[in-house]
Amino acid sequence: LSLVTALVLSVAPADTSSKQMQSCLRQLRATKAARSIKSTTWRWLDDVTPDSRVLASLDAQPEFTLPIWDYFAVMVDQERIDDGHILMERHRTTLERVSRRYGVDPATVVAVWGVESNFGKGRGGYHILRSLATLSCNGRRQAYFRKELLAALRIVQAGHVAPADFVGSWAGAFGQTQFMPSTFERLAVDFDGDGKRALMDNVPDALASTANYLRNAGWRRGAPWGLEVRLPTSNGAPFPYAKEGRRVKHSLRDWSARGVTRVDGMPLDADGLKDSTKAGLLLPAGIEGPAFLVMRNFDAVYSYNAAVSYALAIVHLA
């Protein structure tokens, strides 16, 4: 079966919503942004129907709906840690080369791989073109997903991924480390030099592309992502945290002046960390839970998928 035939057979006969989506796609095809995409490429969307599962997932992402410790129990379990150790050893030479070129440590690169796809074992079973067509014409953030759909079509057109093999997450991310199509266009690299940017099954390309992403997101070589800290109280009153957050950065000098220390009681600027380093306060489970001062490298990881629990899972797995 062709991809299009498979997509059509996987749902009930076209209904009003299917007709509406085809009308939406025709309008998108007529836009200036779509001019570089050939009619032969657009044919992969002929008769494509909406995927209701995709719309259900749009408002049920686990990094936003699961309590943080439940999310951690899934993403940072012992099995994933053990697998990460094995794969770091197996790909040691590649990871060392990646780290030298992009400045991101091997553990963080492998942790992204682990959280995004369980080291390639859970890359998703959604057809990317169908998912992005559905999201381009239904639900919220349609403008964003239309840009991603056009990028996905260009990827198919350029021969980077065969349409029948173009599968991934419900949101359109694909490959070992789950790049969105526009991210692939900007930052995917051909690390093994075979002339292809192959993120589906080529581990060196996927790991190097992830490191390239983090470097471009502001990752600083050798710098920490953050510190677990202890917040002081004043006459039994909790630390004033209402106006603080990940993006509200103060120097470690300022945090120290307010009585904040590392969780073990050591000064914030121990281990040679400059007291001018900027950090924001993160309370992922509220004022009664653990507290972190997070820095620029945390923000780089956060940009991969803008959710606090997601970024914390990666840095702790690393």
- Give the global pTM: 0.88
CB atoms within 10 A of CB 230: 15
Sign of CA dihedral 268, 274, 280, 283: negative
Taking each helix axis from N to C end, the angle separating 128-137 and 142-157, rounded to the nearest 10 degrees, works out to 150
Average pLDDT over residues 83-95: 98
String of b and e for 295-316 (b: at least 16 CB within 10 Å)?
Answer: bbbbbbbbebbebbbbbbbbbe
pLDDT of res. 4: 43
Q: What are the tokens at 48?
A: 């494509």
Structure confidence at residue 12 as a pLDDT band (50, 70, 90): very low
pLDDT of res. 64: 57
Element (H, E) at 129: helix 128-137
How do 261-262 and 278-282 pair as beta strands?
unpaired
Q: pLDDT by residue (tens digit) across 49-66? A: 888 888 877 766 665 567
Q: Say if CB 148 and CB 181 are below 8 A apart.
A: yes
How do 167-168 and 250-251 pair as beta strands?
unpaired
Q: Say if CB 106 and CB 88 are below 8 A apart.
A: yes
